[in-house]
Amino acid sequence: MAGALKKDRATGSANAITADLVAVLVAVTEGEPKIMTIANDGALPSGPFEFAHRSLQTGLRAWVEAQTGHPLGYVEQLYTFADRGRAGDAKSPHSISISYLGLTREDKVGQGFEAHWSGWYEYFPWEDQRAGLPASLAKTLASRLRAWAKSAENTGLQRQRWQRAAITFGLDDREWNEELVLQRYELLYEAGLIPEAVRDGAAATTVIPGKPMTGDHRRILATGIARLRAKIKYRPVVFELMPAEFTLLQLQRSVEALAGRLLHKQNFRRLIEQQQLVEETGAIAADTVGRPAKLFRFRHGVLAERAIAGTKLPLSRT
Amino acid sequence: MAGALKKDRATGSANAITADLVAVLVAVTEGEPKIMTIANDGALPSGPFEFAHRSLQTGLRAWVEAQTGHPLGYVEQLYTFADRGRAGDAKSPHSISISYLGLTREDKVGQGFEAHWSGWYEYFPWEDQRAGLPASLAKTLASRLRAWAKSAENTGLQRQRWQRAAITFGLDDREWNEELVLQRYELLYEAGLIPEAVRDGAAATTVIPGKPMTGDHRRILATGIARLRAKIKYRPVVFELMPAEFTLLQLQRSVEALAGRLLHKQNFRRLIEQQQLVEETGAIAADTVGRPAKLFRFRHGVLAERAIAGTKLPLSRT
DNA sequence: GCCATTTATACTCTCCATGAGTATATCCTG
DNA sequence: CAGGATATACTCATGGAGAGTATAAATGGC
């Protein structure tokens, strides 16, 4: 039956490649999103998929524990990358990167590892819009993007470039869309405005703030942030990042930290409560300014009760 | 800087593996969703990722064109699988499958290829709920699932199994959720109710209707259907599957075919029009019964104009 | 002890998208 | 010309989301 397949298949190891497993491991501490980094904050935890690994996830867990001492909890696959020329050195062997998103808490850090928690906005300063953009960054960013658009050959292409920049970065009175993390990074890469682009051969220009990473790790990080920002809207994944008990404001601050935007307090609470995602513990927060808040815990039951998925189709009842 | 990485990296080809590229290529013809199959309808188009391929997508396009004569248009990555024991023979080399979803139209089929368009509901009969479930299937399915739940060791596990079945299959007066394609397939696999499970070593039981596929191809297909069903709700991807001109009813029938559910006609039209996704061509459909309908075309402009992404967060304006 | 400050919590009000259904128009066929 | 079939235009009720006001309960400074 699969004859047609078999004869096309790899014979021996002519098409053998290596696969790297890469983890975007996220935590939120005191209202700041953090990611686990190694190699002097220049890389994400990663390692090759080996024959000994029973599955991709198993391999990933092994590497992350070995490099960071941190056990992996919630994990989901992100994307598989393989473009050459993005890997740092073009002569690298045929290698692909299979990336994962992991959610956890910052506690229980292992000792004796060269892993650190780094703020993710160090790598993507423009993604933090909670206090608006730092005035300096906002100005340089927009002018650099305009210069890039202008540098296109013809006016058609120029307009096209600017439209793309305006949409992804919310310029020209457009709305900021926090989910377009990857699109923004890709655009900056194409425009040669980040160190990785220069490293990979782009014309050397003045570069925009934001720490670079090895290989395509910052691109993978962008993918992870984008996925997480999209997912918190329709799945209760924030709770993987919260302590067992928390106040509603702490919950809100965490979501705001991830989304990079401020939320409307009253409406946020209404949303959480009507979805019955949390229940009161009975206890009350201590050591606070202002009126003390009730403590809540996540209702794990909801995960089993509902198969949460919003339909946006105008279904018919007949 | 990346020293810590390098010393962990694969040395030589000790960790060399092979990667298969697999395509779920979808078209909709006369209100029926089709997928491109090869090997006597038992496999999806696929082939190994080779050193000559410049990127994963390039490799995929090469294989699909070679095997089906059909050029690939819209493509997006689905998932990367690697579990052993799912591949058919457990002794297979360490191999992973990188899967893609492609959208196209059924026309322009190449000659001299052993590829076919197969209805996707042949592989997933229970996913077509447009006319309700075929009475026979509905009855057997529910009773088999109940038997599987009952076969658990203790009552706790039994209840847990039944709850899972009820949620994924919309039993016990629960709502049917068309997006849970993969969850349903995985459950049937675990329950040993499909041929692939028996092939991989499950206890031989009477099996449920639905054609099997090589390796984990049916699982990949389930992933593709699920992704497409989710995506048509928030991205205008249906148009990749439509001819240049179409009536609103044809469009509705296509969405219904993909979703496996019937839609409310008037509300569907309101939705399409208010989103300004289409514009009239001025022409009118010929060869129809009933009042002839206006023909529409997709407004490609919307893709550039809007960065479509629905926020579900209670944003603050300050 | 009073007051400014800070946070928590409870409501209100408006607008609009969505679900559901009714009414009318326009074609074809016998 | 009736009847069947489809297209298209409205109506109406409901509920969720955006935005804002009002009140409660703590702290610290004076």
- pLDDT value of position A26: 97
In this complex, the answer to whether residue B274 has its CB under 7 A from any atom of chain D, a nucleic strand, is no
**Residues engaging strand C (CB under 7 angstroms):** A 247-249, 265-266, 269-270, 288-294, 311-317; B 264, 266-267, 270-271, 274, 289-292
Instruction: Name the β-bridge partners of B80.
Output: B98
- pLDDT value of position A35: 97
Q: Decide if A240 contacts A98 (C-beta within 8 A).
A: no
- pLDDT value of position B286: 80
Q: Is A307 close to B167, i.e. CB distance below 8 A?
A: yes
Complete domains list, chain A, with CATH: 18-121 (3.90.79.10), 131-210 (no CATH), 242-305 (1.10.10.10)
Question: In angstroms, rounded to a whole number, what is the distance separating the alpha carbons of residues A196 and A207?
Answer: 10
Highest mean pLDDT, choosing among A129-138, B106-115, B188-197: B188-197
Give B308's pLDDT tier (boundaries 50, 70, 90): low
Q: Is A46 close to B314, i.e. CB distance below 8 A?
A: no
Query: Considering only alpha carbons, which residue of chain B is nearest residue A20?
Result: B9
- pLDDT value of position A297: 95
Question: In angstroms, rounded to a whole number, what is the distance separating the alpha carbons of residues A140 and A148?
Answer: 12
How distant is C1' of D22 from CA of B311, in Å? Answer: 29
A279 touches chain B (CB under 8 A): no
Q: Is B83 close to A234, i.e. CB distance below 8 A?
A: no
Q: What is the CA radius of gyration of chain A?
A: 22
**Angle, helices A155-169/A181-190, rounded to nearest 10 degrees:** 140
- pLDDT value of position B108: 59
On the question of pLDDT at A123 being above 90, the answer is: yes
Query: Considering only alpha carbons, which residue of chain B is nearest residue A67?
Result: B4
Q: Quote the tokens at residue A8.
A: 């096309």
On the question of pLDDT at A145 being above 60, the answer is: yes
Q: Provide the shortest C-alpha distance from residue B41 to chain A (in Å).
A: 9
Q: Measuring CA to CA, which residue among B48, B88, B58, B63 is closest to residue A12?
A: B48
Nucleotide nearest to B296 (CA to C1'): D7
Identity of the residue in B167, B263, B309 whose CB atom sits nearest the CB atom of A179: B309
How distant is C1' of D27 from CA of A28, in Å? Answer: 28
Give A86's pLDDT tier (boundaries 50, 70, 90): low
- pLDDT value of position B11: 38
- List, in order, residues 6 or more apart from A282 with CB less than 8 Å away: A295
Q: Decide if B260 contacts A316 (C-beta within 8 A).
A: no
Q: Provide the shortest C-alpha distance from residue B285 to chain A (in Å).
A: 24
Mean pLDDT of chain B: 87
DSSP assignment of B42-66, as one string? TB-SEEE--TT-SSHHHHHHHHHHH
**Angle, helices A248-259/A265-274, rounded to nearest 10 degrees:** 110
Give A308's pLDDT tier (boundaries 50, 70, 90): low
Chain A residues whose CB is inside 8 A of the B156 CB are none
In this complex, the answer to whether residue B54 has its CB under 7 A from any atom of chain D, a nucleic strand, is no
Task: Summarize pLDDT for B72-129 with one digit per residue, the tens.
Answer: 999 999 999 986 655 444 444 478 999 999 999 987 566 678 889 999 999 999 999 9
Q: What is the 3-state secondary structure (H, E, C) of chain A?
A: CCHHHHCCCCCCCCCCEEEEEEEEEEEEECCEEEEEEECCCCECCEEECCCCCCCHHHHHHHHHHHHHCCCCCEEEEEEEECCCCCCCCCCCCCEEEEEEEEECCCCCCCCCCCCEEEEHHHCCHHHCCECECCHHHHHHHHHHHHHHHHCCCCHHHHHHHHHHHHHHHCCCCCCCCCCCHHHHHHHHHHCCCCHHHHHCCCCCCCCCCCCCCCCCHHHHHHHHHHHHHHHCCCCCCHHHHCCCCECHHHHHHHHHHHHCCCECHHHHHHHHHHCCCEEEEEEECCCCCCCCCEEEEECCHHHHHCCCCCCCCCECCC
Q: Is B309 close to A180, i.e. CB distance below 8 A?
A: yes
A11 touches chain B (CB under 8 A): no
Q: Provide the shortest C-alpha distance from residue B104 to chain A (in Å).
A: 22
Q: Is the dihedral of CA B299, B303, B305, B306 positive or negative?
A: positive
B20-24, B53-57, B161-165, B286-290: the lowest-pLDDT one: B286-290
Compare B5 and B39 and report the one with higher pLDDT: B39
- pLDDT value of position B88: 46
